[in-house]
Chain A
């Protein structure tokens, strides 16, 4: 990698935070592992200082051939300095890790194995059920993905202050929990893993269905979710079927990201998408993990959702009866309003809109914009006035400008048909 020219200040300033966000997360994870998770603040400070030093140095000298190694060396030295200057090691850490070594003996290795293991432990530390789901996602973004507070606030359409408070509260909770995850038993991993997978799933959804007014997708969030799941899939402790199923699901959904919005940022619905824009590499990865996921008898909601995504992404034929049955099973395993609505849509594709309207009438989801969107679709061709009414309801209930436009277009279409 050629060094960026020294006078390219702006480029370097932009490049460093974005490009090395993941390196920052890795450094924090490894340092936290050495210091103990309760000293994550110290680890983050050292990582930040290393980046600060990098920025100063690289602005003058250009970015080196191996930036990661450079960063890790700086972090390593700073960590050692910190321990030397601080009573922290002698009094607390030494006792905690029952070490017989002196400060100079701790080498702060940054090899691949240690990085992967530290990141894995960090995932479990961060995805702690003591915090509500939104807080977990924020923590995951900050600590696992290296997002800044501003970037997180942007993703959630929140003020930076709100995010800051949320993070403070969440971290305080973790501190009282004790950050006790030095080594998890297989049973603990299994129970905590469900929380982890849920957090990653929600993180992906944030990116995929972003409520952010002006953007339909936040690709960053989607790719971070995949990266974290990949970490789990590649570690012997956590490469179980439902992890593979989740990974397959995320790959299938991601394969369509480029086709879901046009250049103006407007939503393109599934039937209108240009299939050439679907990413074949991601679809193939999805298939690979999908097959892996069925190695045992285990059937999770992620298996079912991956199955549905598989049908949507790879097969064009008579897929709707299969999809309907998968939604039946999914709902029987775990109810969600979105699944109920999607199931009814599949029902319509198999048995027609009139039958589906009877099914939809049984759903008690009148405050849900997607429900009214579905009803609008079902009544199209049957009762235009009712269709318009439902689409208007959907319009008022959604906060997404992109979705509002979709519903407005539908209403305009129905109105023009009447004339």
Chain B
């Protein structure tokens, strides 16, 4: 079994903000998606959401900017860690992620183990 990180990315849309009902719906779908992965015994770490308001970027030359989102169009929302035999299996899990329905996407990265060379 290998471990894979799901990195969730989204972009700030200038358009309509989701209504409370839509937020509730999204939350329910997210929990169902995570629950489904957990039911398959493939969840390693439910991970964390990363703050939008409290973020800074530290660069060389003593440069400090506020947050990532003025620089990066698709900022990281959060991450989760799953386990799967192959990356294809991990991808199959990621395909069901609700973030895909609201303009976001999922980056799937294998966690490097001592046996790997890449």
Contacts and interface: CB of A to CB of B under 8 A. Distances in A.
A327 interface: yes
A324 B36 CA distance: 11
A343 B31 CA distance: 12
Interface string B48-59: 000000000000
Main DSSP-derived SS at the B contact region: helix
B22 to A, nearest CB: 17
A343 B28 contact: no
Contacts of A321: 28
Contact of B31 (A325, A344, A363): A325
B40 A363 contact: yes
B34 to A, nearest CB: 6
B39 interface: yes
B38 A332 contact: yes
Nearest to A340: B39
A343 B40 contact: no
B35 to A, nearest CB: 3
A364 B39 contact: no
Interface in B18-76: 28, 31-32, 34-36, 38-41, 43, 46
Q: Size range of the interface on A?
A: 10 to 19
A28 B35 CA distance: 46
A328 interface: yes
A331 B39 contact: yes
B40 A328 contact: no
A321 to B, nearest CB: 8
Contacts of A362: 36, 39-40
A266 interface: no
A321 B34 CA distance: 15
Nearest to B30: A328
A79 to B, nearest CB: 52
A366 B41 CA distance: 14
A335 B43 contact: yes
Q: Size range of the interface on B?
A: 10 to 19
Interface string A359-374: 1001110000000000
A329 interface: yes
A364 B40 CA distance: 7
B77 to A, nearest CB: 18
Nearest to A347: B32
A340 B36 CA distance: 9
A266 to B, nearest CB: 30
A243 B61 CA distance: 54
Interface in A305-348: 321, 324-325, 327-329, 331-332, 335, 339-340, 343-344, 347
Contacts of A331: 35, 38-39, 43
A332 B34 contact: yes
B39 A359 contact: yes
A329 B35 CA distance: 7
Contacts of A332: 34-35, 38, 43, 46
B16 to A, nearest CB: 26
Contacts of B46: 332
A344 B35 CA distance: 10
Contacts of B32: 324, 328, 347
A412 B94 CA distance: 41
Contacts of B41: 335, 340, 364
Contacts of B34: 328, 332
Contacts of A325: 28, 31, 35
A293 to B, nearest CB: 22
Nearest to B32: A328
A254 to B, nearest CB: 27
Contact of B36 (A335, A339, A359, A364): A359
A304 to B, nearest CB: 12
A347 B39 CA distance: 12
Given A329-B35, A362-B39, 15 more contacts: A321-B28, A324-B35, A325-B28, A329-B31, A331-B35, A332-B35, A332-B38, A335-B38, A335-B39, A339-B39, A340-B38, A340-B39, A340-B41, A343-B35, A362-B36
Interface of A: 321, 324-325, 327-329, 331-332, 335, 339-340, 343-344, 347, 359, 362-364
| 10 closest A-B pairs by CB | A328-B35, A331-B38, A340-B39, A332-B38, A335-B41, A328-B31, A362-B40, A332-B46, A343-B39, A331-B39
